Amino acid sequence: MIRKKISSSIPSFFYSYDTNTPFSQCSICNKFFNDSSRYFIEKVFKQNIVLNKSEIVYEYAICELCATSMSDEISEESKISITELYEAHSENLLRKIDYLHRTEKYSIDSWVDRCSMTGKEVRLCDEYAVNGIVENGCLVYEHTPIVISDDFVQKIQEVLSKETKDTFNDFKNQITNVSPSVEDLIFSPSPSIF
């Protein structure tokens, strides 16, 4: 059983890179978050091999309404494929989540050190994405935060239908200029959003 722990704040890891404060509005509809908002954050990192550190390349926050409307546009076919893909790799994820909850490791570092699905360490990823959920101004530890490595994103891309890829491309365009090299990582859909 997956437990749920709501932290007492938002770790700075999930702050907006530009302002170094929590995200204040939805990156798609621009609506401001309030104290009772529930929203999703995705950050995409690139590994700087020379400096041996992760650098942010893209991030956004999305409100529940926008996430729902995005989810509604994902084809049934793609939803089934994505769910099957996650289920096929869920052993690693469930073991890790169970361990983190059992040992009450509610510090962000323990959750974002490696790919939640494949176990690949983030320092070995060229690129990776991290997703988190905020409720009432606090980070939720449940089945997220989750890390998706470049390897797993590739697997997701392979199972998405053309319609779904088009949908994601539309959303990406709403968010703004995204470098093509990280495009595939953005909106790496996880079952947590639908």
Rule CB under 5 A: say whether 174 interacts with Zn ion: no
We find the least distance from the C-beta atom of residue 31 to Zn ion, in angstroms, to be 5
The tokens of 34 are what? Answer: 């309030």
Phi, psi (rounded to 5 degrees) for 59: -160, 155
We find the least distance from the C-beta atom of residue 39 to Zn ion, in angstroms, to be 8
SS3 call for 125: coil
Rule CB under 5 A: say whether 117 interacts with Zn ion: no
Nearest to 173 by CA among 60, 23, 64, 57: 60
* Stretch of 64-72, 133-141, 146-154, 166-174 lying at the interface with Zn ion (CB under 5 A): 64-72
Which residue, 65 or 94, has its beta carbon nearer to Zn ion? 65
Contacts of 121 (CB under 8 A, 6+ apart): 113, 114, 115
Strands (DSSP E) contained in the chain are 5-6, 38-48, 53-63, 127-135, 138-141, 146-149
Rule CB under 5 A: say whether 67 interacts with Zn ion: no
Which residue, 70 or 185, has its beta carbon nearer to Zn ion? 70
Which residue, 8 or 176, has its beta carbon nearer to Zn ion? 176
* Stretch of 21-29, 77-85, 86-94, 174-182 lying at the interface with Zn ion (CB under 5 A): 21-29
Which residue, 29 or 88, has its beta carbon nearer to Zn ion? 29
Query: For binding to Zn ion (CB under 5 A), which residues are involved?
Result: 26, 28-29, 63, 66
